[in-house]
Structure 1
Amino acid sequence: MTTSLFLDALAGQRTERPPVWFMRQAGRYLPEYRALRAQAPDFVSFCLNPEMAAEATLQPLRRFGFDAAIVFADILLIPQALGQEVRFEAGEGPRLGLMPPVEAMRERVTSAGEELKSVGRTLTLVREAMPQNLALIGFAGAPWTVASYMLDGGLHTIGKGERAAARSYAYADPDGVDAVLDVLVEATAHYLKMQADSGAQALKIFESWAEGLPDDLFERLVMRPHRSLVRRLGELGVTTPLIGFPRGSAAHAVRYARDVDVQAVALDTACPLEVGRQVQAVKPIQGALDPLLLRAGGAALDRRVDELRAAWGDGPWIFNLGHGILPDVPIAHVEQVLKRIGAQ
């Protein structure tokens, strides 16, 4: 047994209670985060400031005592490392400039870890400051999710929820999109290796836009790049456990668990309890409380926590949200969940 409840569950062991952490647990719902964020000129600068990012990572641990921390960063740091302009506009989200030519990006893939070494410094600072029985998670956006922003600059003027522009490129220019995905596999592998070398004890691959893909595109845009990324990490000597998060994958989740060599699978809010049990029979799972229910609170929140625990509580299971925590979630509701699950 390790000394970490989180790492025990990730290794497939059954724990006395499910370890708990929340996606986007360091964020705008915390007043201390808002005060810290106000000191940075822009969001990208905030992410790349190791001292500030480390403080943001540690804040929820101090307040809630989660079992794991995830490094404060963003999935769109990789495009910047590859030479694409990235900026975040208040109330609008990410905006990216024109994507550089694939050949130009290929020249920068092996230096992605070095370009983003400030994230590694953040991880080192956090690992030095946090208790040894708590785990530290690094992460990156999955190739298709990052590509979906790079291909259309983050504008998404039509079909926003389905990433219509990027999916249209995938149909119209399959070779071109596959070339971008290959670049992102290599760059992401070097980036995640740097994080593992800097103290990350688990690595999460965020596929935020797996939703709505037909079988053939799911295989080509999600499964194949994930398998390539896992394989490349192994070639680079990375043995850190991996959590795959194919958000919105629905019935594909069991297939993903069987065919992608990650150590655990994160489940989204729409995943049926029975599908979660099927995935759990293959490997450890994480998820899948609805962030909107966390915001609502009350008896319905308690009931859902109990339902998830009844369905998946025999483990291995890491209690988490099915997507990121919302900015207007009351802190008392986070405390309510932690008490209900037995983590406080």
Structure 2
Amino acid sequence: MKTLRNDRFLRALRREPVDRTPVWMMRQAGRYLPEYRASRAKAGDFMSLCRNPELCCEVTLQPLDRYPLDTAILFSDILTIPDAMGLGLRFVEGEGPLFDRPIRTLDAIRRLAAPDPEGELRYVMDAVRTIRGALGDRMPLIGFAGSPWTLATYMVEGRGGHDFAVIKKMMFDEAEAFDGLLSTLVESVSTYLAAQHAAGADALMIFDTWGGVLTPESYQRFSLNPMKRIVERLAKTAPGVPVILFTKNGGQHLEKMADTGCAALGVDWTTSLADARRRVGGRVALQGNLDPITLFAKPERIREETARVLADYGHGPGHIFNLGHGILPQTSPDHAGAMIEALHQLSPAYHQRKD
């Protein structure tokens, strides 16, 4: 195991003592940073940026050079796997990701195959290797993927959001076929994440963006169970790597999520960290959970809300400070800096021994 100069994030994942609460931000390399916008313009478009390992490394490091963060996260996108499956991914300004060839039939599901991480997705692994080399022993690197359910929503709907009518109809009327799609995605995500770890990622995160739109029963079958299978596979193919699960709007499922064997759970701003901590009983670390819109407020209010999140979690290890979802493009970089500064000033008190 390599020795890192800053390993607070990894120690927090293991619920070990730290001197202050580690911090990073979902989408910390993104459109809110002018330096990112310059790199994206240099690439030409978003996917060209994702497919360029050197530029991926450049934008991954940008927030680390600007802020005293505790971990890097690979710059990429959750839709790299379905893109590698040949579904015709494109990004449309104002609409987001669209697929030209969505999956709508049993025959189309049967034709899908898990992409080779060192084949069709080699550019992602090259980015991980390039970033790891540039980071050296500075801090950890997080790799990530979308959850099978979340990837399936884009693949079947052909786009994100909305009412999910197309995928839910498939889920209800063709459940066995839909299970086949999820099984292919379990295999794809498992091999993709294991390859990221082999290339240099120190921790892995699964983003379940759309799990919160399901009923409790459907969530268990179609979202949580596939993620559990991935965690179990990674325990064999990438032993020892910590895995973080995050279901947006999934606070009601935390106990069952903690049962998967993951190291940590992401918590969004709709769930109290104190309540989450009580419910999971110290089995996993918790990551979160400042509302990203807080960063639109004045710096003194940002400080107050940062203090509130810290107090909500309370004393002791096992907390990683983060936003409850990705930082928004309209955010002032100075306001993100105000949050991090407040966190650095306020969090050490929560890690001092209470005699």
Which TM-score tier does this pair reach, normalised by the shorter chain? over 0.9
Q: Measure the CA separation in 2 of the matches of 1:45 and 1:102.
A: 27
Q: Measure the CA separation in 1 of the matches of 2:327 and 2:194.
A: 27
Q: TM-score, normalised by structure 2?
A: 0.90
**Contact 2:90 2:97 (C-alpha < 8 Å) held by counterparts:** yes
Matched, 1:35 2:42: no
Match of 1:138 among 140, 143, 148: 143
Shift, 1:133, TM fit: 3.8
Shift, 1:172, TM fit: 2.1
- For residue 263 of structure 2, what is the aligned residue in structure 1? 263
Q: Secondary structure at the match of 1:87?
A: strand
Q: Measure the CA separation in 2 of the matches of 1:38 and 1:171.
A: 43
- For residue 14 of structure 2, what is the aligned residue in structure 1? 11
Q: How does 1:19-58 map to 2 (within 5 A)?
A: 19-58=22-61
- For residue 184 of structure 1, what is the aligned residue in structure 2? 185
- For residue 315 of structure 1, what is the aligned residue in structure 2? 317
Q: How does 1:210-289 map to 2 (within 5 A)?
A: 210-257=211-258, 259-278=259-278, 279=280, 281-289=282-290
Give the counterpart letter for 2:228 in structure 1.
R
Shift, 1:113, TM fit: 4.5
The structure 1 segments of at least 4 consecutive aligned residues displaced by more than 4 Å after TM superposition are none
- For residue 127 of structure 1, what is the aligned residue in structure 2? 132
- For residue 102 of structure 1, what is the aligned residue in structure 2? 109
Q: How does 1:189-200 map to 2 (within 5 A)?
A: 189-200=190-201
Deviations 1:183-223 (CA, angstroms, capped at 9, x unpaired): 00001111111100110000000001111321210111121
Backbone CA RMSD of aligned residues: 1.9
Matched, 1:340 2:338: no
Q: Measure the CA separation in 1 of the matches of 2:218 and 2:204.
A: 25
Q: Secondary structure at the match of 2:90?
A: strand
Identity %: 37
Q: Measure the CA separation in 1 of the matches of 2:288 and 2:300.
A: 20
Q: Secondary structure at the match of 2:76?
A: coil
Structure 2, unpaired ranges of 5+: 347-355
Q: Measure the CA separation in 2 of the matches of 1:186 and 1:141.
A: 13
Distance 1:119 1:260, change over 3 A: same
Distance 1:263 1:37, change over 3 A: same
Q: TM-score, normalised by structure 1?
A: 0.93
Give the counterpart letter for 1:269 in structure 2.
W
Match of 2:120 among 103, 115, 119: 115
Farther-moved stretch of structure 1 (60-69 vs 270-279): 270-279
Q: How does 1:198-209 map to 2 (within 5 A)?
A: 198-209=199-210
Distance 1:229 1:89, change over 3 A: same
- For residue 59 of structure 1, what is the aligned residue in structure 2? 62
Distance 1:280 1:289, change over 3 A: farther
- For residue 172 of structure 1, what is the aligned residue in structure 2? 173
**Contact 1:280 1:316 (C-alpha < 8 Å) held by counterparts:** no
Structure 1, unpaired ranges of 5+: none
**Contact 2:115 2:121 (C-alpha < 8 Å) held by counterparts:** no
Q: Measure the CA separation in 1 of the matches of 2:31 and 2:119.
A: 29
Give the counterpart letter for 1:329 in structure 2.
T
Distance 1:66 1:254, change over 3 A: same
Q: Secondary structure at the match of 1:150?
A: helix
Q: Measure the CA separation in 2 of the matches of 1:227 and 1:92.
A: 32
- For residue 352 of structure 2, what is the aligned residue in structure 1? none
Distance 1:57 1:312, change over 3 A: same
Farther-moved stretch of structure 1 (74-83 vs 247-256): 247-256
Q: Secondary structure at the match of 2:75?
A: coil
